[in-house]
Structure 1
Amino acid sequence: MSKISGSEIVIECLKEQGVDTVFGYPGGTILNVYDALYKHQDEINHVLTSHEQGAAHAADGYARATGKVGVCMATSGPGATNLVTGIATAYMDSIPVVAITANVGVNMLGKDSFQEVDIAGVVMPITKHSFIVKHIDDLAPTIRRAFKIAKSGRPGPVLVDITKDVTAAETEYIPETPEVIERKTDTIREEDVNKVLEMIKVSRRPFIMAGGGCIISDASAELAEFADKVDAPVCDTLMGKGAFDGRSERYTGMIGMHGTKVSNLGVSRADLVIVVGARFSDRVIGNASKFAPNAKIIHIDIDAAEIDKNIPTNASIVGDAKEVLKLLNSKLAAQSNKTWMSEIEDLKKQNPDVYSFDTLNGPAAIKKIYELTEGDAIITTDVGQHQMWAAQNYTFKEPRTFLSSGGLGTMGYGVGAAIGAKYGRPDKTVINIAGDGCFRMNLNEIATAARYNVPIIQVVLNNHVLGMVRQWQTLFYDHRYSNTVLDDSVDFVKVAEGLGAMGIRANTLDEFEAAMKTALTAGRPVVIDVTIAGDDKVWPMVAPGAAIDTCFSEDDM
């Protein structure tokens, strides 16, 4: 059997895993891998981003939109460290990404060589596993193991660092068929299932909370059937958007700091809260000691470490959400909670929309995007007010259509993620919604979209301030606006044109509608600069450290 180089082995292993697209940026130590990529460019599409962070976010967006493993590459030193924010973003939201970096040769390690960084050590706390490959015979098994770790159990990012001499060395390569990843069911115990079933049967005010785990496990159909069987209302976390159809009468909206009053008050009045694939984030539960004070808690999660971590539970089932819900659905007789469902309907009537949709503001722009796309787009966001407005005002009806940095809250995430999502789902309209503060962090990736003519739509809700931070400064810091006013003269329309995209400015709702219609048919990347007021706020809101049933709107003040 003939021998091939380590660089060729990297490519063969990617092909073996079904990888069709890689996002990255070349450099000295990874040159051999890029030379092999050149020879296989008809089999693996490489997208050259403007910055390595953009490559990591693109791999993340690709993974969230498709359910497949996203792949990014970078060279040693600053190339590798520029991936760190994107890797941490994927880790916090349990997104399967494999990051491949190269390092200096084995004999140069530990000598402060040019562009040498222990990247495997750097990312250890923010990956499921990190490897450094120092011998050619370890290369193929390590890459295969990295993909298995990334997508098995609770998914997450894995980093493989390869020394340059290994990319040049040669050895025999024996192809392997990737191991089938089985769903995690061995931890589902019959006694746990029976306890949960009994708690559901005696409950009269059950509430279901869906998290990102429902999307990761493709459990939407099972979740819908479960909600009908329990006869319960359903709320979601930010990461759970789209797991449950937002058009359903059972749906009450997002829960938490900027959740709906219906969800926050409903969960606080429930006698049973069933949490599926969520981790009880502080932004969801508010004051932990006052969360759902009248309810028993059931927690279903694939990761045993999450059980009782933030909120004490009365019952739990550890396992894949889809498999757990399948089992519960097969054993649970249909319940009837008409009085409770009627109470939830009354709560909805008592708490209508808090925003005005007849003039141009963030929520009105989001509503208009929903109308024009008929709810069929993939929405990516950056982080801040616009992110909350998007979560609140675009109705998500299916999973993998809302891509946002939830756990890490990464400003600058959206453009790269939108590019990755469009490569993964070219049939979908992909729209990134950002504030001006976020957009300027990674707007260089618009150049990437223009280079490859990736027709993403970038909507910049431009209020000339760091909106969410300013909101806190208004409400909790006595209007001391320290370093949150962006009163410069950056023109995003000119920036877009300078980067090779189409730029459109919108100052009224009619202008925005016209701009969106143009963007949706343009067939090229478009940036829409949307002028909104600097003091618009996200409502409702729960003050930090307060119970979620103390949520308030502007009228309450």
Structure 2
Amino acid sequence: MQLTGAEVMVKCLEEEGVSTIFGYPGGAILPFYNALRDVKNIKHVLTAHEQGAAHAADGYARASGKVGVCCATSGPGATNLVTGLANAFLDSIPVVAITGQVKSSMIGHDAFQEVDITGITMPITKQNFLVNKPEELAQTMRLAFQIAKSGRPGPVLVDVAHDVQTAMVEYRPAKMGELPTVMPDEKLVEKAIAALNKAERPVMLVGGGVAISGAEYEAVHVCEKMHMPVVSTLMGLGCISAYREQFLGMSGLHGHERANNAIANADVVLAVGTRFNDRVTGDRDKYSAHKTIIHIDIDPAELNKNIASTIDISGDMRTILKMLDKGCKGHDIKAWWDTIMTWPGMDEDYGNNAAPLFIEALNPVLKGKDYLLATDVGQHQMFTAQHLKVEYARQLITSGGLGTMGFGLPAAMGAKLARPETKVICISGDGGYKMTGSELFTLASNNIPVVSVVFNNSGLGMIRQLQTVQFNKRFMACECPGYVDFVKYAEAFGLEGEHVATPEDFAAAVKRGLDKDHTYVIEVDIDPKDMVVPMVAPGKGVDEFVRGLGE
């Protein structure tokens, strides 16, 4: 069958079951858009900015477990995807980005809107491709999806020259086979079982890899069988429900005291699907000292990279956890639990901060409900991670490794399109909202209902907090002069919203917003002096906290 290259690209998307694409057109990608116009089963969402398209594809992938797809033209269109691709790369999110490129004969001649996007994105993608031969197009498109979702997932970019999109190509339908299961070393699993069965103070640390691999059930089964305490990284929140008695909370820089103390005092740490980011470990030597660390990850490159672990197991997460469950035996660790319960728990009142009360007010409203919650990056993100009781994997959508301000709103949009029957809430700070709040245009023009919350302290709260702790309150560029009324901003797009000042009013406003059939903006007035506590002292161990914040 003879088709244009652009038509082949669309056929390959159909082969993969793609139903939604986020993008922004331009000259070099117009043949693809022309082919896309004739397809009825793929929805194209025109975003306000290409960064929004990348974040929306990311949010779509996180919510659905499928590959998210975004597209842009050459030059500035392609470079505007870079932040979103880097964000997906560091959080191991499967995204395929399709970009148009100038004609093959013009590549390397500084043509209009030409950049070397494959060179630019090489460090922040699993792999990228420049297609300048029509006969390689279909194979490359299929390979991009295979790479994005296999092993440790991540973003893949396919840059397609304009003349390749317009060339006539022989197309033959194909379907990629099932992805192979990566089996672990059985002897290493046996060593891990032996260590866990001897442990007197075991702790399970769950990371984002548990959710990505769909291994939350197996993880719960292991911790229940051994009655083992569980802590979570930011990306692992929800893999173990916050309502389970074994769950101690989030660990790391802004982790709960009970969770961090448990890690510091454990004799065996079963770390599942985490790459031991510096925000998780604090002082790395102290983190791994005097304990056995069993590190399980699909990516062997992550083993022994950040933390000196004792037993490293690479392979399929579900398979490994099933093997551990079969071999591990529950034993008496009551003394360990007695010690754990002497430390402050998740529900302790940290300081005199009012902001966490707004998040806590959501828990009775949302408990047991089918909802997703996305966040931007900053203090509001940490308040949410600390005080929202996340119940299942993929429920919390947030930027971890890159820490991307402006991620929340477009990611929430992508999540809602991935799961249209599920209610979606986004919590942003006023700083990040000023970056990508223009995606309210996309939400309004496509009638996508999201409850969009803005925590407004008229500043950059986390920068203010870091300048308090590290620079003796020498505040610089952390306060935004002038007040922005975000409800009026929403009204400019034909949307509605309200202002709230108390946790009770906030909970009621969220209830109202969830009943709307369009995006509803809620602005929450936050004291600029509110701090995220607890906080691990910079460069210290995870059980060494900064005291006096928020008081």
TM-score normalised by length of structure 2: 0.97
Aligned to 1:480: 474
Aligned to 1:283: 279
Give, in angstroms, the shift of residue 455 of structure 1: 0.5
Give, in angstroms, the shift of residue 306 of structure 1: 0.9
User: How far apart are the structure 2 equivalents of 1:555 and 1:462?
Assistant: 20
Give, in angstroms, the shift of residue 375 of structure 1: 5.1
Are the aligned partners of 1:4 and 1:171 in contact in 2 as well (CA < 8 Å)? yes
String of CA shifts for 1:483-519, please: whole Å, max 9, x gaps: 1111213221111110222121112334323322221
Aligned to 1:180: 178
Query: In the alignment, is residue 125 of structure 1 matched against residue 123 of structure 2?
Result: yes
Query: In the alignment, is residue 165 of structure 1 matched against residue 197 of structure 2?
Result: no
Query: In the alignment, is residue 471 of structure 1 matched against residue 470 of structure 2?
Result: no
User: How far apart are the structure 1 equivalents of 2:101 and 2:346?
Assistant: 60
Please tell me the residue identity of whatever aligns with 2:165.
T
User: How far apart are the structure 2 equivalents of 1:458 and 1:306?
Assistant: 36
Are the aligned partners of 1:451 and 1:500 in contact in 2 as well (CA < 8 Å)? no
User: How far apart are the structure 2 equivalents of 1:343 and 1:553?
Assistant: 22
User: How far apart are the structure 2 equivalents of 1:3 and 1:349?
Assistant: 65
Aligned to 1:249: 245
- Would you say how many aligned residue pairs link Structure 1 and Structure 2? 550
Give, in angstroms, the shift of residue 368 of structure 1: 2.1
Give, in angstroms, the shift of residue 348 of structure 1: 4.4
Are the aligned partners of 1:375 and 1:396 in contact in 2 as well (CA < 8 Å)? no
String of CA shifts for 1:326-383, please: whole Å, max 9, x gaps: 11112222333122122222324698232669xxx42122122232222532111010
User: How far apart are the structure 1 equivalents of 2:164 and 2:32?
Assistant: 10
Moved more, 284-293 or 29-38: 284-293
Aligned to 1:102: 100
Query: In the alignment, is residue 399 of structure 1 matched against residue 367 of structure 2?
Result: no
User: How far apart are the structure 2 equivalents of 1:299 and 1:510?
Assistant: 43
Give, in angstroms, the shift of residue 325 of structure 1: 0.2
Give, in angstroms, the shift of residue 179 of structure 1: 1.8
Aligned to 1:9: 8
User: How far apart are the structure 2 equivalents of 1:527 and 1:250?
Assistant: 36
> What aligned pairs does 1:240-389 form with structure 2 within 5 A after superposition?
240-348=236-344, 352-354=348-350, 361-374=354-367, 376=369, 377-389=371-383
User: How far apart are the structure 1 equivalents of 2:363 and 2:168?
Assistant: 53
User: How far apart are the structure 2 equivalents of 1:356 and 1:247?
Assistant: 25
> What aligned pairs does 1:194-209 form with structure 2 within 5 A after superposition?
194-209=190-205
User: How far apart are the structure 2 equivalents of 1:442 and 1:555?
Assistant: 30
User: How far apart are the structure 2 equivalents of 1:142 and 1:171?
Assistant: 14
Give, in angstroms, the shift of residue 413 of structure 1: 0.4
Aligned to 1:29: 28
1:81 pairs with 76, 79, 82, which one? 79
Are the aligned partners of 1:241 and 1:396 in contact in 2 as well (CA < 8 Å)? yes
Q: SS of the counterpart of 2:211?
A: helix
Q: SS of the counterpart of 1:480?
A: coil
Please tell me the residue identity of whatever aligns with 2:317.
A
> What aligned pairs does 1:36-47 form with structure 2 within 5 A after superposition?
36-40=35-39, 42-47=40-45
User: How far apart are the structure 1 equivalents of 2:438 and 2:414?
Assistant: 15
Give, in angstroms, the shift of residue 556 of structure 1: 10
String of CA shifts for 1:166-208, please: whole Å, max 9, x gaps: 00011111101222112321xx112101111111111110011
User: How far apart are the structure 1 equivalents of 2:15 and 2:345?
Assistant: 54
Aligned to 1:445: 439
Q: SS of the counterpart of 1:300?
A: strand
User: How far apart are the structure 1 equivalents of 2:332 and 2:223?
Assistant: 11
User: How far apart are the structure 2 equivalents of 1:349 and 1:49?
Assistant: 42
Please tell me the residue identity of whatever aligns with 2:239.
A
Q: SS of the counterpart of 1:283?
A: helix
Please tell me the residue identity of whatever aligns with 2:5.
G
Give, in angstroms, the shift of residue 292 of structure 1: 4.5
Query: In the alignment, is residue 137 of structure 1 matched against residue 135 of structure 2?
Result: yes
Are the aligned partners of 1:388 and 1:538 in contact in 2 as well (CA < 8 Å)? yes
User: How far apart are the structure 1 equivalents of 2:428 and 2:437?
Assistant: 10
Q: SS of the counterpart of 1:444?
A: helix
Q: SS of the counterpart of 2:458?
A: coil
Are the aligned partners of 1:150 and 1:156 in contact in 2 as well (CA < 8 Å)? yes
Please tell me the residue identity of whatever aligns with 2:241.
D
Question: Aligned pair in 2 of structure 1 residues 556, 103: CA closer, same or farther (>3 Å)?
Answer: closer
String of CA shifts for 1:102-123, please: whole Å, max 9, x gaps: 1000011111000001111110
Please tell me the residue identity of whatever aligns with 1:535.
K
Q: SS of the counterpart of 1:459?
A: strand
1:551 pairs with 536, 545, 549, which one? 545
Please tell me the residue identity of whatever aligns with 2:80.
N
2:232 pairs with 215, 229, 236, which one? 236
Structure 2 unmatched runs, 5+: none
Q: SS of the counterpart of 1:485?
A: coil
Please tell me the residue identity of whatever aligns with 1:31.
L
Q: SS of the counterpart of 1:548?
A: coil
Moved more, 123-132 or 484-493: 484-493
Q: SS of the counterpart of 1:529?
A: strand
Are the aligned partners of 2:351 and 2:549 in contact in 1 as well (CA < 8 Å)? no
Are the aligned partners of 2:208 and 2:236 in contact in 1 as well (CA < 8 Å)? yes
Please tell me the residue identity of whatever aligns with 1:150.
A
1:93 pairs with 91, 94, 99, which one? 91
User: How far apart are the structure 2 equivalents of 1:336 and 1:17?
Assistant: 49
String of CA shifts for 1:79-138, please: whole Å, max 9, x gaps: 000000000000000000000001000011111000001111110000000000011110
User: How far apart are the structure 1 equivalents of 2:515 and 2:442?
Assistant: 20
Aligned to 1:496: 490
User: How far apart are the structure 2 equivalents of 1:163 and 1:20?
Assistant: 24
User: How far apart are the structure 1 equivalents of 2:287 and 2:326?
Assistant: 30
String of CA shifts for 1:252-307, please: whole Å, max 9, x gaps: 00001100000111111111111000011100000111114331111011111111
Moved more, 43-52 or 335-344: 335-344
Are the aligned partners of 2:208 and 2:273 in contact in 1 as well (CA < 8 Å)? yes
Aligned to 1:67: 65
Aligned to 1:533: 527
Moved more, 484-493 or 204-213: 484-493
Moved more, 174-183 or 162-171: 174-183
User: How far apart are the structure 2 equivalents of 1:168 and 1:305?
Assistant: 40
Please tell me the residue identity of whatever aligns with 1:338.
K
- Provide the identity percentage: 46
Please tell me the residue identity of whatever aligns with 1:159.
L
Q: SS of the counterpart of 1:339?
A: helix
Please tell me the residue identity of whatever aligns with 2:90.
M
User: How far apart are the structure 1 equivalents of 2:549 and 2:102?
Assistant: 60
TM-score normalised by length of structure 1: 0.96
Aligned to 1:193: 189
Aligned to 2:516: 522
User: How far apart are the structure 1 equivalents of 2:355 and 2:4?
Assistant: 53
Are the aligned partners of 1:354 and 1:553 in contact in 2 as well (CA < 8 Å)? no
Question: Aligned pair in 2 of structure 1 residues 350, 390: CA closer, same or farther (>3 Å)?
Answer: closer
User: How far apart are the structure 1 equivalents of 2:389 and 2:170?
Assistant: 52
String of CA shifts for 1:380-424, please: whole Å, max 9, x gaps: 101010000110111111101111110000000011100000000
Question: Aligned pair in 2 of structure 1 residues 433, 351: CA closer, same or farther (>3 Å)?
Answer: closer
Are the aligned partners of 2:5 and 2:166 in contact in 1 as well (CA < 8 Å)? yes
